[in-house]
Structure 1
Amino acid sequence: MWRDLLPVGRHAGSGGYRRYAWTAADADCRAWFKAQAGARGLTYEVDRNGNQWAWLGDPLAGNAVVTGSHLDSVPDGGAFDGPLGVVSSFAALDELRHRGAQFTRPLALTNFGDEEGARFGLACVGSRLTAGQLTPEKAYELRDGDGVSLPQAMERAGHDPAAIGPDPERLARIGAFVELHVEQGRALDLSGDRVGIASAIWPHGRWRFDFHGEANHAGTTRLEDRRDPMLTYAETVIAARREARLAGALATFGKISVEPNGVNAIPSLVRGWLDSRAADESTLDTVVAGIEKAAMEHAERDGVDVRVTRESFTPVIEFEHALRDELNRILGGRIPVLGTGAGHDAGILSGSIPTAMLFVRNPTGVSHSPAEFAGEDDCVAGVLALADVLEGLACR
């Protein structure tokens, strides 16, 4: 399975993946998922929001146990973030069939669409729509860098965008969702453990900073006469690092758009996207407020106008303690429990159904990069742990 999926959406130049929502690479990933479901005799379906499902047992019976993750990627992302959870879900089912497990609850494997938000700027679109955390009206406003709207992209890919929206009937049939994911950090590597359990997801959000200045000639305009938004943006990036360091939080400007984007032109507009995360919402608010304050102060000095728009926000998510404790019990009670600063579909769904997460060791700690890695032995340990969990939940 891993060998079949590995080439899909891989960029020859960077070695990373560009599996963006509703593109050809995404279609290839979806075809792979459908083929895996068919090879195992599972009932395959795509829901109204474009999420894929493969069912063992009656999908309408209720109290189902669901596992899976996502197959899309960030720009030039790694091979493991998302796909490891989907591949492992099929491998865990194979393991349970090898054991002769007798299922007493329906089991579903899933691939949630557009988890990374790389194309339309909003993470977890598929699960947000399903859980009612993203309205169809707001979803219709999403556009990619070329101005293509989400419904246009979905329609071009053969999916009816008129049907998107909350899916409470589907969620009501799910008794538990368990997502396996490569760890995005080195906690397991430092502790020497192969597998961990998630405790909570830090609150996090994305903010767009628009710095409006004045376009002018780079070779003739005196420094004193410039209204250069790039200068203000650069100072804001430095301020973000300072505010995050002082608060023990995280803040990153990882995406930028410049107009007119000429080598010999002073920009008229610099647009930068801030990603910030912290252990609690109060700290996060303090960090973002400090960054905004610094941006405004530098903008006034530089003769630049600044507008800040919060594009997304996810509050702190505590995974349900009962399900988390049940996973620990099934796995022998000696599994490390870890917090994480990364968002996931399991976090979005936690407000609607009981959810939990398993982490697989990442020896480098690198994620969202071609250097992202997990050893084969650790991946196998993750599959076996997931199989044990599914057996404990769905076969009793």
Structure 2
Amino acid sequence: MWNDLHPLGRHPTTRGYRRYAWTPADAECRAWFTAQAETRGLTHEIDRNGNQWAWLGDPARGDAVVTGSHLDSVPDGGAFDGPLGVVSAFAALDELRRRGTAFTRPLGIVNFGDEEGARFGLACVGSRLSSGQLTRDRAHRLTDGDGITLPRAMEAAGYDPDAIGADPDRLARIGAFVELHVEQGRALDLSGDAVGVAGAIWPHGRWRFDFRGEANHAGTTRLTDRRDPMLPYAETVLAARREAGSARAVATFGKVAVEPNGVNAIPSLVRGWLDSRAPDQRDLDAVVAAVEKAARAHADAHGVDLDVVRESFTPVVEFDHALRDRIGRILGRDTGHTGHTGDTGLTVPVLGTGAGHDAGILSAVLPTAMLFVRNPTGVSHSPAEYATEDDCVTGVLALADVLEGLIHP
């Protein structure tokens, strides 16, 4: 499966992945998913929001156990973020069939669309739409960097944008959703464990800072006559680092757009996107408020106007404790907050994470859980993202054990 999926959407120069929603690369990944489902004799369907489902058994029976993740990527992302969960889902099904497992509940595998938000700026679009956390009207207003709207992109890919929206009947069929994901950090590497269980997702959001100055000639305009928006933007980037460092948080300006974007032109607009996350809401609010205060002070000092818009926000997600503890019992290990060594001699630590996931979105409407697979470098959202084959196999076997345990309540 990895060999078939590996080249899809990979940039020849950067070697990173550019699997953006409703693009040819996305279509190739979707075709790969369909082929995997059909090869295994599963029923394949695409819901109104473009999420793909592969079913063993009739989902209309309800109380289904579902696993999976996403196949799209951030710009020049790595091979494991998302795809590891989908590949592992199919591999876990293969393992259960090898064991001769009797499926007493429907089993589903899902590929959620546009999880990363790389094209339209909003993460987890597919799961947000299905769970009712993103309205059709708001989704229709989303545009990419070229001004193409989400409806136009969907139509170009052969989908109906007028059909999107909340899908409660479909989600009501699901009794539990378990998402396997490569860890986006080094907690497991530092603890020496191959697999962990998610405890909570930090609250996080994205804010757009628009610094508006005055375009002018870079060679003839005196420094004292300039209203250069690049200067307060640069100072705001540094302020974000300082504020996050003193508040147990992270804050990143990872995307910037400049107009007119000429080497010999003073910009008229610098637009930067802040991504900030923290263990609790109070710390996150404090960091973002301090960054905005600093940005406004620097903008005023340079005669620049500033608009700040919150583009997305996800509150803290506490994964279902009963499901988490049950997973610990299935794996034969206690998943206390520090982890516990069981009969296997391994531990399954409970990890907090600053990364958002579809499982976090769906936790608002159904029981969800996550398994993490060790990332020896901690690098993610980069071509250097990595997990060893042995750890990936350990993750597949752990997922198979969990699915088998959930299928037999």
So what's the TM-score if we normalise by structure 1? Answer: 1.00
Percent pairwise identity = 79
Residue 22 (structure 2) pairs with residue 22 (structure 1): yes
- Partners of 1:255 and 1:129 in 2: CA distance: 25
Equivalent residue for 1:335?
348
- Partners of 1:44 and 1:78 in 2: CA distance: 27
Equivalent residue for 1:350?
363
Within 5 Å, give how 1:143-292 maps onto structure 2.
Answer: 143-292=143-292
Residue 68 (structure 2) pairs with residue 72 (structure 1): no
User: Residue 395 of structure 1: CA displacement?
Assistant: 3.4
- Partners of 1:378 and 1:292 in 2: CA distance: 42
Contact 1:185/1:365, CA 8 A, preserved across alignment: yes
Query: What are the superposed Cα offsets for residues 99-124 of structure 1, whole Å, 9 maximum, x if unpaired?
Result: 00001100000000000000000000
- Across the aligned residues of Structure 1 and Structure 2, the Cα RMSD in angstroms comes to 0.5
User: Residue 380 of structure 1: CA displacement?
Assistant: 0.2
Query: What are the superposed Cα offsets for residues 70-119 of structure 1, whole Å, 9 maximum, x if unpaired?
Result: 00000000000000000000000000000000011000000000000000
- Partners of 1:262 and 1:94 in 2: CA distance: 54
Contact 1:320/1:354, CA 8 A, preserved across alignment: yes
Q: Which amino acid aligns with 1:357?
A: M
Contact 1:101/1:395, CA 8 A, preserved across alignment: no
Residue 378 (structure 2) pairs with residue 365 (structure 1): yes
Q: Unaligned regions of 5+ residues in structure 2, if any?
A: 334-346
**SS of the residue 1:60 aligns to:** helix
Residue 37 (structure 2) pairs with residue 37 (structure 1): yes
Q: Which amino acid aligns with 2:376?
A: P
Query: What are the superposed Cα offsets for residues 53-77 of structure 1, whole Å, 9 maximum, x if unpaired?
Result: 0000001000000000000000000
Equivalent residue for 2:344?
none
Q: Which amino acid aligns with 1:283?
A: D
Q: Which amino acid aligns with 1:350?
A: S
**SS of the residue 1:81 aligns to:** coil
Residue 391 (structure 2) pairs with residue 378 (structure 1): yes
Q: Which runs of 4+ in 1 moved over 2 A?
A: none
- Partners of 2:283 and 2:408 in 1: CA distance: 43
- Partners of 1:300 and 1:163 in 2: CA distance: 45
Query: What are the superposed Cα offsets for residues 315-339 of structure 1, whole Å, 9 maximum, x if unpaired?
Result: 0000000000011111111411100
**SS of the residue 1:196 aligns to:** strand
- Partners of 1:31 and 1:159 in 2: CA distance: 14
Q: Which amino acid aligns with 1:216?
A: N
- Partners of 2:3 and 2:189 in 1: CA distance: 25
- Partners of 1:220 and 1:329 in 2: CA distance: 71
User: Residue 162 of structure 1: CA displacement?
Assistant: 1.1
Equivalent residue for 1:106?
106
User: Residue 160 of structure 1: CA displacement?
Assistant: 0.9
Q: Which amino acid aligns with 2:245?
A: R
Count of matched residue positions in the alignment of Structure 1 and Structure 2: 396
Q: Unaligned regions of 5+ residues in structure 1, if any?
A: none
Q: Which amino acid aligns with 1:104?
A: T
Q: Which amino acid aligns with 1:339?
A: G
- Partners of 1:159 and 1:87 in 2: CA distance: 25
- Partners of 2:402 and 2:68 in 1: CA distance: 13
**SS of the residue 2:246 aligns to:** helix
**SS of the residue 1:219 aligns to:** coil
- Partners of 2:11 and 2:353 in 1: CA distance: 28
- Partners of 2:216 and 2:331 in 1: CA distance: 63
Contact 1:119/1:145, CA 8 A, preserved across alignment: yes
Q: Which amino acid aligns with 1:364?
A: T
**SS of the residue 2:60 aligns to:** coil
User: Residue 248 of structure 1: CA displacement?
Assistant: 1.3
- Partners of 2:270 and 2:136 in 1: CA distance: 29
- Partners of 1:101 and 1:159 in 2: CA distance: 36
Query: What are the superposed Cα offsets for residues 228-250 of structure 1, whole Å, 9 maximum, x if unpaired?
Result: 00001000000000000010100
- Partners of 1:24 and 1:353 in 2: CA distance: 32
